[in-house]
C-alpha cells in the first residue's frame, strides 16, 4: 500500500541535504535532512512491522533483512562503481585511503571510521568521497537491532494466550515503550557528551547518540500507522479536513525549512535539542501526510513527486562524491548542474531497472520481454569493467595525501631541528639566569621569534626558518587555538619562549577559539610581544568560524599595545593564483606561497618591534 504525499516528506529530506552540501554557507542547517530521513525510516519500517503482525501474528525477521538488503546494498555498490572512474579528473589526493573508505561504506561502519579518522563535513580539507554513507551505517544498525528486538517480541506474543486484538495492542504498547526509552537514552547521551566539545562530529556520527530520530518515527508509527490503525487515530482521520491538513503539513515543512537556515553544525543547541526538534516536526509532517492520504481519495500524487521520492535514496548516494569531484574542476554552480545531470539518470536507472532485476523482478520500465536478456548482458559487461576500474583505483590509491606527506616530512625535520635549537636556547637561558642571579637582576627573555602554527605553517616551515630572522617554528597539522595555547605555555614555563611570539592558528577554528585566544593573550608573560597571523580559507564567507576569528583578531591591537596583527587573510586574497588546484587553505608547497606567507609574518614583526612589550 503506497501512501500518497509521503513523497513530499522524502523530498523535504533530500532537498535539505542537497542544499546543505551544495550551499552550506547559505543553508547551514540542512543536515537536518538526514534526521527527516531517519524519522521517516523509523516510522515506515515500524508501521510495516505492525501491519505484518496484525495480519499473521508474526514478524519474519529473515525476510525483513532480505528486503532491507535488496533496497540498500545494490544502489550503494552501484554508486561506488559509477563514481570511482570520475576520480581520474581530480588530484590523486581525493582517493587517498580509498580502499578503507569503500570497505567502511559497504561494511556500514563509515560513522565510526569517520570518528576514528577525525572526519567531519565541516572541517576536512580533502573530504572523504563516501563520508555521507555514515547515515547508512546508522540506519543499518537500526534495522538490524530493531528488527531483532521486534522479532523477539512478536515471537513471545505469537505463543501467548491473548486474542489477536489483545496481542496487537500489546505489540504496539511494547514497541511504543521501547521507543520512548531509547529516545530518552539517546537524546540524553547526545546532550551530555556534547558539553565541553568544540568539534561535535563524534556525537553527530555515533549510532548511539544519533539513533533517536528512528525511534521518534517508530513511536509515531505505534500511535498512528499505515494499514493497521488504532481506534483513536482512526477517529482523527474521520474528522480531518483536507484544507486544514494541507495547512498543517505546509506549516511543518516551513518550520523545517527555517530550522535549516538557523541551525549550525557547531552550535551546542543543535545537540541539546535542535535535532530532536527537527525529528518531532518531521514526525508531525509524516502524520499529516498519512492523514492527507485518507482525506483525498480522489486526488493523485503528482508523478514528478513520486519520481523524486523514488530516486531520493540513490540520489543521496551519488550527490556527495560527484559534487566533491566536480567542485574541484569548476565553479559551484556548474558542479551542482553536473552533479544533478549525472546523478538523476543514474539514480533512475538504479531504481527502475537495476534494482528490480537484482531482486528477481521484471522492471516496469522495460516493456518488451525480449529486451531484458540484452539489458542483463549489458549490465554484466558494464559491471565487470567498473569492477576492474574500481579494483585498480583502490590498489594504486595513496595512503597519504600530498599535503599529509609534506606535513609528515616537515614534522620529522621539525623534531630534529627543534631538538638542537632547544638545547641552544636552554643553554643560553640558563646562562642568562645565572648571570642575572649573580647580578641580582631578573632573568631576561630569549631574543628572537617563536612561531607557533598549524598545518599551513608546517607546510612552509623550512622556508620560514631561513627567511624569518632568528626564529624557531613549532607547527602541527590540525592544531587548534587551545593546543597552541598549551605549546606556548609549555615553552614559557621552560624559559625558551622567545620575545616575539607569532601565533599562526585559526584555519581549524572551532567554537570557542576566540575565548581560547583571549586566554592566550592574558596568560602571555610580561616581556613578550604577540603577533597574530589571521587565518585564510578560500571557501569561507563571513559566517565561518575562521572568518569570525580573523575579525576578532583585528580588534585586539586596539585593546593591547603589545599585540600586532599580520593579516594573512587579506594578503592571501590578493594572490588567488597561489591556491589554484589546492584545497583553498594550503598552497601545495609552491614557492610563491612560501614567499608571501613569510612576507606577511615579517611585516607583522617589523610593526611589532616598533611597539612595546607586555608590561
Is 70 exceeded by the pLDDT of residue 244? yes
Higher pLDDT, 161 or 11: 11
Q: Say which residue the cell 539489458 belongs to.
A: 375
Beta bridge partners of 501: 450, 530
Surface-to-core class of residue 359, CB atoms within 10 Å of its CB (0-12 exposed, 13-18 middle, 19+ buried):
middle
Among residues 101, 96, 93, the alpha carbon closest in space to that of 130 is found at: 101
Q: H/E element holding 559?
A: helix 545-559
Give φ, ψ of 375 to 5 degrees: -65, -40
pLDDT, position 415? 65
pLDDT in tens, 173-222: 999 999 999 999 999 999 999 998 877 889 999 999 999 999 999 999 99
pLDDT, position 314? 97
362 & 455 share domain: no
Give the torsion through C-alpha atoms of 581, 587, 589, 595, to 10 deg.
130
Q: Is residue 521 part of a domain?
A: yes
pLDDT, position 411? 64
Higher pLDDT, 551 or 119: 551
406 & 335 share domain: no
468: CATH: 3.40.50.1110
381 & 408 share domain: no
333 & 355 share domain: yes
Band (pLDDT 50/70/90 cuts) for residue 444 is confident
Surface-to-core class of residue 371, CB atoms within 10 Å of its CB (0-12 exposed, 13-18 middle, 19+ buried):
exposed
Quickly list H helices, 328-371.
332-349, 355-358
333 & 425 share domain: no
Q: Which residues of 543-566 are buried (b: 16+ CB within 10 A; e: fewer)?
A: ebbbbbbbebbeebbeeeebbbbb
pLDDT, position 287? 97
How far apart, in whole angstroms, are the C-alpha atoms of residue 3 and residue 227?
10
How far apart, in whole angstroms, are the C-alpha atoms of residue 528 and residue 498?
7
Domain that holds residue 330: 6-396
Is 90 exceeded by the pLDDT of residue 480? no
386 & 412 share domain: no
How far apart, in whole angstroms, are the C-alpha atoms of residue 33 and residue 19?
9
207 & 356 share domain: yes
Q: Say which residue the cell 533517536 belongs to.
A: 212
pLDDT, position 159? 86
Q: What is the DSSP string of 143-156?
A: HHHHHHHHHHHHHH
User: Are 605 and 531 contacting, i.e. CB atoms less than 8 angstroms apart?
Assistant: yes
Give φ, ψ of 397 to 5 degrees: -65, 135
Which residues have C-beta within 8 Å of that of residue 496, sequence separation ≥ 6? 422, 425, 426, 429, 446, 450
Q: H/E element holding 608?
A: helix 591-608
Among residues 475, 456, 470, 467, the alpha carbon closest in space to that of 498 is found at: 470
User: Are 224 and 133 contacting, i.e. CB atoms less than 8 angstroms apart?
Assistant: no
pLDDT, position 301? 94
- Number of neighbouring beta carbons within 10 Å of residue 42: 29
Own/partner long-range contacts of 490-497 (Cβ < 8 Å, ≥24 apart): 491/450, 492/524, 492/525, 494/426, 495/426, 495/429, 495/433, 495/443, 495/446, 496/422, 496/425, 496/426, 496/429, 496/446, 496/450, 497/445, 497/446, 497/450, 497/525, 497/528
pLDDT, position 367? 84
Give φ, ψ of 439 to 5 degrees: -90, 5
* 3-state SS assignment for residue 406: helix
pLDDT in tens, 214-228: 999 999 999 999 999
pLDDT, position 524? 95
pLDDT in tens, 461-474: 889 989 999 998 89
pLDDT in tens, 288-301: 999 999 999 999 99
> How high is the mean pLDDT of the chain?
90
Q: Is residue 613 part of a domain?
A: no
How far apart, in whole angstroms, are the C-alpha atoms of residue 571 and residue 132?
34
Q: Which residues of 307-338 are buried (b: 16+ CB within 10 A; e: fewer)?
A: bbbbbbbbbbbbbbbbbbbbbbeeeeeebbeb
Sign of the CA dihedral with 239 first, then 243, 245, and 248 last: negative
Is 60 exceeded by the pLDDT of residue 428? no
Q: Which of 58-67, 345-354, 392-401 has the lowest mean pLDDT?
A: 392-401
28 & 92 share domain: yes
378 & 418 share domain: no
Higher pLDDT, 396 or 426: 396
355 & 413 share domain: no
Q: Is residue 1 part of a domain?
A: no
The distance between the two most distant Cα atoms of the chain, rounded to a whole number of Å, is: 102
503: which DSSP letter? E
Domain finish residue from 339, 366, 396: 396
Q: Is residue 31 part of a domain?
A: yes
Among residues 124, 129, 125, the alpha carbon closest in space to that of 88 is found at: 129
Surface-to-core class of residue 181, CB atoms within 10 Å of its CB (0-12 exposed, 13-18 middle, 19+ buried):
exposed
pLDDT, position 150? 97
Domain finish residue from 367, 396, 425: 396
Q: Is residue 444 part of a domain?
A: yes
pLDDT in tens, 134-175: 999 999 999 999 999 999 999 999 988 899 999 999 999 999
Q: Is residue 461 part of a domain?
A: yes
Band (pLDDT 50/70/90 cuts) for residue 122 is low
Among residues 545, 511, 549, 547, the alpha carbon closest in space to that of 532 is found at: 549
374 & 437 share domain: no
Count how many domains the chain has: 2
Is 70 exceeded by the pLDDT of residue 609? yes
Q: Is residue 615 part of a domain?
A: no
490 & 417 share domain: yes
Q: Is residue 100 part of a domain?
A: yes
Domain finish residue from 396, 414, 447: 396
Higher pLDDT, 127 or 13: 13
pTM: 0.80
Amino acid at each position: 500500500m503506497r501512501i500518497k504525499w509521503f513523497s513530499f516528506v522524502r523530498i523535504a529530506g533530500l532537498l535539505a541535504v542537497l542544499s546543505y552540501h551544495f550551499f552550506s554557507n547559505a543553508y547551514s542547517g540542512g543536515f537536518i535532512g538526514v534526521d527527516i530521513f531517519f524519522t521517516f525510516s523509523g516510522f515506515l519500517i515500524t508501521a510495516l512491522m505492525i501491519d505484518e503482525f496484525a495480519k499473521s501474528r508474526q514478524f519474519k525477521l529473515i525476510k525483513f533483512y532480505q528486503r532491507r538488503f535488496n533496497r540498500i546494498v545494490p544502489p550503494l555498490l552501484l554508486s561506488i562503481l559509477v563514481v570511482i572512474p570520475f576520480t581520474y579528473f581530480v588530484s590523486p589526493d581525493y582517493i587517498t585511503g580509498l580502499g578503507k573508505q569503500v570497505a567502511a561504506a559497504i561494511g556500514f561502519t563509515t560513522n565510526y571510521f569517520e570518528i576514528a579518522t577525525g572526519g567531519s563535513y565541516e572541517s576536512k580539507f580533502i573530504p572523504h568521497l563516501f563520508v555521507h554513507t555514515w547515515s547508512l551505517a546508522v540506519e543499518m544498525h537500526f534495522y538490524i537491532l530493531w528488527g531483532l528486538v521486534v522479532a523477539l517480541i512478536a515471537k513471545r506474543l505469537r505463543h501467548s494466550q491473548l486474542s489477536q486484538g489483545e496481542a496487537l495492542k500489546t505489540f504496539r504498547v511494547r514497541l511504543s515503550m521501547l521507543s520512548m526509552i531509547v529516545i530518552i537514552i539517546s537524546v540524553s547521551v547526545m546532550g551530555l557528551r556534547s558539553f565541553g566539545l568544540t568539534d561535535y562530529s563524534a556525537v553527530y556520527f555515533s549510532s548511539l547518540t544519533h539513533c533517536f530520530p528512528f525511534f521518534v518515527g517508530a513511536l509515531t508509527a505505534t500511535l498512528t500507522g499505515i494499514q493497521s490503525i488504532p481506534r483513536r487515530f482512526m477517529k482523527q482521520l474521520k474528522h480531518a479536513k483536507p484544507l486544514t491538513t494541507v495547512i498543517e503539513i505546509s506549516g511543518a515543512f516551513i518550520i523545517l525549512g527555517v530550522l535549516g537556515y538557523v541551525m549550525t553544525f557547531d552550535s551546542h543547541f543543535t545537540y541539546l535539542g535542535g535535532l530532536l526538534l527537527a525529528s518531532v516536526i518531521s514526525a508531525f509532517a509524516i502524520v499529516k501526510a498519512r492523514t492527507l492520504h485518507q482525506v483525498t481519495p480522489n486526488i493523485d500524487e503528482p508523478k514528478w513527486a513520486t519520481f523524486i521520492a523514488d530516486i531520493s535514496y540513490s540520489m543521496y548516494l551519488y550527490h556527495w562524491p560527484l559534487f566533491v569531484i566536480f567542485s574541484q574542476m569548476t565553479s559551484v554552480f556548474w558542479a551542482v548542474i553536473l552533479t544533478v545531470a549525472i546523478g538523476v539518470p543514474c539514480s533512475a536507472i538504479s531504481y527502475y531497472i537495476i534494482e528490480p532485476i537484482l531482486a528477481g523482478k521484471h522492471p516496469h520500465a522495460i516493456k518488451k520481454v525480449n529486451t531484458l536478456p540484452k539489458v542483463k548482458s549489458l549490465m554484466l559487461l558494464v559491471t565487470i569493467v567498473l569492477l576492474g576500474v574500481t579494483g585498480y583505483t583502490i590498489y594504486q590509491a595513496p595512503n597519504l595525501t600530498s599535503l599529509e606527506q609534506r606535513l609528515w616530512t616537515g614534522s620529522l625535520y621539525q623534531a630534529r631541528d627543534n631538538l638542537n635549537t632547544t638545547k641552544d636556547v636552554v643553554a643560553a637561558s640558563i646562562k642568562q639566569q645565572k648571570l642575572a642571579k649573580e647580578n641580582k637582576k631578573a632573568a631576561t627573555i630569549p631574543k628572537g621569534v617563536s612561531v607557533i602554527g598549524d598545518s599551513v605553517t608546517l607546510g612552509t616551515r623550512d622556508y620560514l626558518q631561513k627567511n624569518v630572522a632568528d626564529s624557531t617554528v613549532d607547527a602541527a597539522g590540525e592544531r587548534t587555538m587551545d593546543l597552541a595555547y598549551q605549546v606556548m605555555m609549555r615553552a614559557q614555563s621552560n624559559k625558551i619562549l622567545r620575545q616575539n611570539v607569532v601565533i599562526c592558528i585559526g584555519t581549524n577554528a572551532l567554537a570557542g577559539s576566540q575565548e581560547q585566544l583571549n586566554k592566550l593573550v592574558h596568560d602571555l608573560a610580561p616581556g613578550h610581544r604577540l603577533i597574530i597571523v589571521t587565518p585564510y580559507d578560500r571557501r569561507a564567507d563571513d559566517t565561518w568560524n575562521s572568518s569570525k576569528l580573523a575579525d576578532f583578531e583585528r580588534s585586539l591591537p586596539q585593546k593591547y599595545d603589545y599585540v600586532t596583527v599580520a593579516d594573512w587573510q587579506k594578503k592571501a586574497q590578493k594572490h588567488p593564483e597561489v591556491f589554484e588546484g589546492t584545497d583553498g587553505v594550503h598552497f601545495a608547497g609552491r614557492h610563491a606561497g612560501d614567499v608571501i606567507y613569510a612576507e606577511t609574518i615579517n611585516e607583522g614583526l617589523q610593526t611589532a618591534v616598533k611597539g612595546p612589550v607586555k608590561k
